[in-house]
Chain A
């Protein structure tokens, strides 16, 4: 079987997409999402312009871009665990997993198919909003590369959250627990790391180990999608009226003080997110192998005895 046929012709992936996309709920969810995000964009513009489009300031459209991108990031963090946390545990609960595992589909192709089918719906949501973002280009203030960079970051974040959710879904028997752990991890990534970074920053100001603490806080911020998205929007962030809001200002101050636009910050982010996703998917594949856990335990014991 050719490689392309093997991956793109994966029957599980096609089945998942067919099941997901044929449901009326999916159409409703897509429409509702577009409606909400479109309404938000419209209201935002209406309030700022009051119908006089020629008076629109680029700084204002940049603010709209920021607003929309953060709304989208929030959506990704909320929706992804909901979709991906039941991929394997759901099969287990529906009692379809045993049959699936006796087909020639390997655990690798099952996990990859589940991963792709989970993220493709969300990627569709992201891509669907592109026309809305194009409003921003009508009035200037943001360059296309920035929009695409933000989309790239969001796609990567979405992929990582999906990997985390699939990992929990494979290792935990119940979808309920898998969902709880997935949301907890998302909360840790977004809020936990922000709080930890803030405390480390605060500590480093009064500690002799300033270097290490500052490095640790930079690490916390550089693996937080919230701050890394801000680093992509840093050039527009400082000029927007929203910058006068303390929360927005604090985010962009962190971006500047920890130099999150630097190569090292991005390298860390990419390493953790791409590497982390890879490791989690490998662990999921391993767990799905019949007797995978037993083999893992045996190898661990053997390694410890050595």
Chain B
């Protein structure tokens, strides 16, 4: 449903997207993960017809985004990472405006507005001015706006960014409900655990290239074997990092500071306890020790780092698949 073929986008000499090949099957929720500046927004902007690629092609269904932008716009609902709203319109007017802009028949607009406001839990605020809504409500309204013309494809660029935990959960539940409606959703984020909960497949982009692509199950299985540990010592942090790097179960050292080291550890509780015992026996003055959450995300960072070392983009996707 969403496909890119050797997609490239250059800003001067800087290559934001490099030979990107993406294939999102109809009816799936595809998570697009990458650090800030990895090329997620550029890719999504190209797919949303807001930007022309330097080379390569992108398709929504059978419509090519550069040669058939009008067709593509009818097929997609796009939600940018940061978007504004027309403050001095009411929620109902706001949706009505976009409904008309998308050519929805006037007799259907009221009905669809009602349905969507129910879906995003904004029914009671239908006649409130948009500026009176909270950030989370505005994000939900933005999602309802994307669905006004009932598009088969949704392109959501970090829809939960800047939201408080409660609003994030609400947004996640709404996106999950879209699965049941048969929508193909391409959603970007840099918070991987959040995506893992609602996506069927996940692709990782780094420096404009897709470095890994796999189903969520594969990713989760891979992630479960590793845990991220944070060790705080009184001094000799760098020395500790060197020591830990030689340990058989330490797969990567992520953060090295004078008094803090963060590392990925591929072992269970007993191995972890043994590791700490060894560390103390080696003479390091351990001040504190704890596990850091979001290991799934860190694993991905770790994987992308491996890709850098190997210099092969396709290896990881094969390995993970």
Contact = CB atoms under 8 A, between A and B. Distances in A.
User: Are both chains from one complex?
Assistant: yes
Contacts of B66: 291
A52 interface: no
A205 B124 CA distance: 76
Given A99-B78, A102-B76, A102-B78, A15 B86 contact: yes
Given A96-B83, A99-B145, A104 B102 contact: yes
Interface string A105-117: 1100000000000
Interface in B214-244: none
Contacts of B74: 104
Nearest to A22: B88
Contacts of B51: 290-291
Contacts of A299: none
B74 to A, nearest CB: 6
Contact of A98 (B80, B93, B145): B80
B86 to A, nearest CB: 7
B156 to A, nearest CB: 12
B84 A104 contact: no
Contacts of B286: none
Contacts of A14: 100
B103 interface: yes
A103 B103 CA distance: 9
A290 B101 contact: no
A106 B74 CA distance: 12
Interface in B94-150: 97-98, 100-103, 145
Interface string A1-42: 100000001011011001100110000000000000000000
Contact of B48 (A11, A95, A102): A102
A96 B84 contact: yes
A55 interface: no
Contact of B50 (A95, A96, A102): A102
Interface residues of A, number: 26
Contacts of A98: 45, 48, 50, 78, 80, 83
A15 B70 contact: no
A295 B85 CA distance: 30
Contact of B49 (A12, A105, A290): A290
B254 interface: no
Interface in B46-89: 48-52, 66, 69-70, 73-74, 76, 78-80, 82-86, 88-89
A105 B52 contact: no
A101 interface: yes
Contact of A104 (B48, B79, B103, B145): B103
A124 interface: no
Contacts of B88: 19, 22-23
Contact of A290 (B69, B76, B79, B97): B69
13 contacts: A11-B100, A12-B101, A15-B89, A19-B89, A23-B88, A96-B83, A98-B48, A98-B80, A99-B80, A101-B49, A102-B49, A103-B98, A104-B74
Interface of B: 45, 48-52, 66, 69-70, 73-74, 76, 78-80, 82-86, 88-89, 93, 97-98, 100-103, 145
Interface of A: 1, 9, 11-12, 14-15, 18-19, 22-23, 94-96, 98-106, 290-291, 294-295
